[in-house]
Structure 1
Amino acid sequence: MIHLKSEREIAKMRQSGLAVWQAHQIAGRMVAPGVTTAEIDKAIEAYFAKLGGEPLFKNYPHHSKGKPNFPAVTCMSRNEEVVHGIPNNKPLKEGDILSLDTGVRINGWCGDAAFTYAVGEIDPDVQRLLDVTQATLNMAFELMHTKSKWSQIAREMAEYVSDHGFSTVECFVGHGIGKQMHEDPQVPNFLGRALRGSGDFRIEPGLVIAVEPMVNMGTKRVKMLRDQWTQVTADGKPSDHFEHTIAVTDDGPTLLTVAPQPAEEKLLLV
């Protein structure tokens, strides 16, 4: 069941969204050859702790009983890793790409966003992958201003990816978000069976969703590593991931995980 949020609740979610945005600013300043993903994760964990925020990812339970909970505050997925990569002490190197996903709960409300960082100079084809994935997310946001159903948006997202010679990951989807990180509805980046049936939903005031296209350079197929969390492309080619938390208000869709406007400076938690 989709829980539509009030304007007051969306305003509270903006605070957690700003905290996630600030976490990505911390990461962006740190990402460089020689830095480890564990170091970046530690810095973001310290920032969330300073805010009194609750990291959404750390100790998140595995979907399979008996498997380990997620051990970190961020998911750090590099190169062929699609999602759910575990931060480690392996230094980043020139030419890597790093998809960083993180979320936090502040005053009872959640924010969640992902961004893919280039480590130094990267291959032009990989840069094109990043450009297309980010453009897919931007397009979804713009289409939320004019489309009435998510299925209409998902179709155009997948077509845009395919037209550029890449593939949309179909094993993982976006999600509703509010007091919990994962709420209804599921938010696919493609037009699958669910969106042709009861899984479709309206773009209406009060809807708050995390939209997160995941795009592979080669096959859409993925496989899980032995750590029981990290998902990699089946062909070893690069993957990319961008995500924003988006709320639909009476004035239209708004991005909750972006930089503050001048009038919002007082909301920025530092």
Structure 2
Amino acid sequence: MVTDIQTQPQTEPKMRARDVSVFYGAKKAIDEVSIDIHTEHVTAFIGPSGCGKSTFLRTLNRMNDTIASARVDGAIELDGDDIYRSGMDVVQLRARVGMVFQKPNPFPKSIYENIAYGPRIHGLADNKADLDATVEQSLRRAGLWDEVKDRLNDAGTALSGGQQQRLCIARAIAVQPEVILMDEPCSALDPIATARIEELIDDLRGRYAIVIVTHSMQQAARVSQRTAFFHLGSLVEYGQTADIFTNPREERTKDYITGRYG
């Protein structure tokens, strides 16, 4: 059974997962995970490679639907609404629960169109002035505006790796999400770009519920306030980041934190 050492916040969780299991065909990849995700802090998922942290992250906006053999059991709620219920608009769900992937993946469009595309198709801008304002605000929130404001018509793919990742974060922000999922967003970046992304995550905290999967325990310690440790498809321990790293209750957590395996 998972050990949960967090002090419960006063607010209701933005997302709530209960007894979630994920199967790929007959193989069980995630075993009855229960966790709450809150807006007021960043939640980090850590654990050795293949432990299920990215698989579980993908259940939070139904990205596993794209895999024919995948099946999800249990319940995941966004503001109390079961996201796996029949009739759920998955496109709308993924606008509310955005995803930033491991490798930056800007559209083969201009910087401006990378940001404008989502608000346009979701009907979030009534006119060109509204769209311009959304593009600027999103790029500002992603800490990219000052670097690209004079070349918005340039290709997004022409930016550096770190800038591309911030562009992808700006693209996610532009459709007014409530949750942002980040799957190892810094693993392909150099230390300077990584530091910029980490600063950005801290700046965005409180505006959005943020979940980050990271292979770096140092990064989890720097950017998160809550940490969940996964091992062999199970959630072993979940609590305040400081407690997880300095006073873990589970022996498996302690062994991973101290480098005995991983």
TM-score, with normalisation over the residues of structure 1? 0.28
Higher helix share: 2
Larger Rg: 2
Higher relative contact order (CA 8 A, sep 6+): 2
